[in-house]
Amino acid sequence: MAEQKSQSRGQAIRKLVERTIQRNINGVAYFVSSDPPVGLTPKDVVHKRGTLSLFHYKPQTDEIYRTPILIVAPTTNRSYCLDMMPGVSFVEYFVRAGYDVYLMDWQPPQPEEKTLDLADYSQRFIAECIDIIRRISGEDEVSLMGYCMGGVLASIYTASYDAQHVRNLICFTTPVDFNEMDMFNKITDKRHFDVDRLVDNVGNIPPSFVLSGFESLEPAGKAASRLQLWEKMWDSQFVETFRKYDRWANDMLPLAGEYFRDTVKDLMWDNKLMDGTLVLDGRSADLATIKVPFFHAVAEHDSIIRRPASAPLINKVSSKDKTEIVLKGGHVSIVAGGNAVKRLWPVLDDWLSERSV
Amino acid sequence: MADKKPKDNQAISIKALEERIKTIGRAVLGNEGFGKVMNSAVTTRSRVQRGFSDQMARQLHFYNMPSQDDVIRLSEQCARIEERVVRIETAILQLTNPSTAQSGPPRTRRPKKAKSTATQPKRTRSAKKE
């Protein structure tokens, strides 16, 4: 018994020493190596104009579904969260499942693009990309997908263009009731926040401002993740994955000035998308006019788009064919985590495949 | 087991600490006074930035050099030209060949369910006799 005890103690000490050595090796590598590669699924850039790039992922199957997918990335973050690494890449999954996948990627808007507004992002750019896809694919309709703010843009397009060339609408953690946006509301409180003065003075909103908004949602999040990293520094695979997600979380995009002004005034202050009173470029964007097949995936523990903010969307759209799926996990895990690979993507694949022929 | 217990305790402690900081943080950041101070700080910063930029522009004009606003104006003109080129390109493509679908795999894939029902085993198995 005593021998067994001393043996297990010996094993524990050996493990501790091994982990300490590995932690030091990984720790040095963490600080000296460059950013890990992301967005590796083979693709072509088929259209580029200022802040907007349209990616076309190369098909990897002998035959593909008839209806192409157009993904609208969120305007606050880099689109590589949808193609983080092989095996847990949303884009790779759907390319391998036989879909023809396109993605609207956002680059930092240049100072001269400060005049781009919500109508440009939600109507003009999406319409332009759909036209290009129709030309390339020879198909008349696409399945429009949007993640987070990308979902808002996709919904506004579908509502304001009467679902022109949109066969299916798929949203991930998409806010609709902006009164429920918690800390974002407090940061942009109408009583203190002078959005006009800010936009007039700085033009495009710097990423540091956007990042501070996200960080205020989880004040201890950064410190906790650093502690977790230290604890698991011995695990090389964890460190590599952590670096990719950490890179993405801190790699925020600036926002075009007028787009930010519209978002704050129309969506945050007046909650026009929720009320059905949003009008952009003379087109009404009432979600109740959406009648195409609709799929909404939300995360149960999403601290960025909280459930009360995204929950009303399913009831707002008038589609007869509509599905909502609530997944355990947070905002990012819905498009880039093991849970999504096993539980969400196969469900979406089943749903979409039947509506893509 | 001996290895797992301290690790769990550590995870619990981190989580508890995180929750405490989160609660305090949200109380502070969500406070109206904090919002007021933060927004006036942002406004002041942006005004200083603007003032500095105006001053710099005056200096650059004195030395006959383009300021950031001049460069932005030129870039805006370029963007407008780019936009017109995109429109012209689209129009030309539509005029010359309205259906310019590129070659690639055929768009004939069928849903998995339709495929799988064909290969599913027959539901004729009867229960084993005891």
Q: Residues of A with CB below 8 A from B43's CB?
A: 194, 197-198, 201
Would the pTM of this model clear 0.95, i.e. be above it?
no
Lowest mean pLDDT among A122-131, A184-193, A197-206, A320-329: A184-193
What pLDDT shows up at residue B3?
Answer: 46
Residues B72 and B57 in one domain: no
Residues B34 and B71 in one domain: no
B130 in a domain, yes or no?
no
Cβ count within 10 A of residue A175: 27
Q: Is residue B32 part of a domain?
A: yes
Q: How many DSSP H helices and E strands does chain B contain?
A: 4, 0
Q: Identify any residues that bridge with A205 across adjacent strands, giving them in sequence order.
A: A255
| Cβ–Cβ < 8 Å for A73, A79 | yes
Domain boundaries, position B41? 12-64
A70 contacts: CB under 8 Å, gap ≥ 6: A102, A103, A104, A126, A129, A130, A133, A142, A143, A144, A145
Q: Are residues B71 and B46 in the same domain?
A: no
Catalytic residue among A148, A165, A177, A296: A148
Q: Which residue of B has its CA nearest to A226?
A: B14
pLDDT for A327 equals 86
Q: In this structure, are residues A82 and B39 in contact, taking their beta carbons and an 8 Å threshold?
A: no
Same domain, B19 and B51: yes
Q: Are A248 and A38 in contact (CB under 8 A)?
A: yes
Do B19 and B60 belong together in one domain?
yes
* Contact criterion met (CB < 8 Å) for A183 and B26: yes
Residue A146: beta bridge partners?
Answer: A72, A171
Which residues, 6 or more positions from A290, have their beta carbon under 8 angstroms from its beta carbon?
A155, A158, A159, A163, A169, A316, A317, A318, A319
Say which residue, B85 or A235, is predicted with more confidence: B85
Q: In whole angstroms, how far apart are CA A217 and each of A23, A181, A305, B38?
A: 30, 10, 10, 15
Q: Is residue B125 part of a domain?
A: no
Contacts of A59 in chain B (CB under 8 A): 104-105
| ipTM score above 0.90 | no
- Percent of chain A topping pLDDT 90: 51
Quote the CA–CA distance of A154 and A121 in Å, as a whole number.
9
Q: What pLDDT was estimated at residue B4?
A: 46
Task: Count up the domains in chain B and report the number.
Answer: 2
Domain contains B126? no
Predicted confidence at residue A213, as pLDDT, reads 65
* pLDDT tens digits, A281-331: 999 999 999 999 999 999 888 878 888 999 999 999 999 999 999 988 888
d(CA B47, CA A255): 19
User: Nearest CA of chain A to the CA of B90: how many Å?
Assistant: 8
Task: Kindly report which listed range (A7-21, A110-124, A167-181, A260-274) carries the lowest average pLDDT score.
Answer: A7-21
Q: How far apart are CA B22 and CA A53, in angstroms?
A: 37
What pLDDT score does A280 carry?
95
Assess if residue B128 is contained within a domain. no
pLDDT (0 to 100) of residue B118: 42
If 0-12 CB within 10 Å is exposed, 13-18 middle and 19+ buried, where does residue B77 land? exposed
Does B79 lie in the same domain as B38? Answer: no
Residues 162-201 of A with CB under 8 A from B: 183, 186-187, 189, 191-194, 197-198, 201
**Residues B70, B90 within the same domain:** yes
pLDDT for A142 beyond 70: yes
Q: What residue ranges define each of the domains in chain A, with the CATH number in brackets?
A: 43-354 (3.40.50.1820)
Please name the residue that has the structure tokens 């808007």: A109
The predicted pLDDT at position A50 comes to 85
Structure confidence at residue A289 (pLDDT)? 96
Find, among A320, A327, A322, the residue nearest to A346 by Cα: A327
Query: What residues pair up with A243 in beta bridges, in sequence order?
Result: none
Averaged confidence pLDDT in chain A: 86
Q: Is residue B102 part of a domain?
A: no
pLDDT given at position A115: 92
pLDDT, averaged per 10 consecutive residues of chain B (130 residues), comes to 52 66 65 71 77 83 82 80 81 70 82 56 54
Phi, psi of A147 (to 5 degrees): -110, 125
CA-CA distance, A278 to A284, in Å (whole number)?
6
Residue A173, phi-psi category: left (phi > 0), alpha (psi -120 to 50), beta (remainder) = left
Whether B123 is in a domain gets the answer: no
B85 and B51 both lie in a single domain: no
pLDDT higher at A355 or A33: A355
Indicate whether B39 and B24 sit together in one domain.
Answer: yes
- Same domain for B26 and B45? yes
Cβ neighbours of B79 in A, within 8 Å: 50, 112-113
B112 lies in some domain: no
Determine whether A251 is an active site residue.
no
Q: Which of A332, A334, A322 is nearest to A287 (CA)?
A: A322
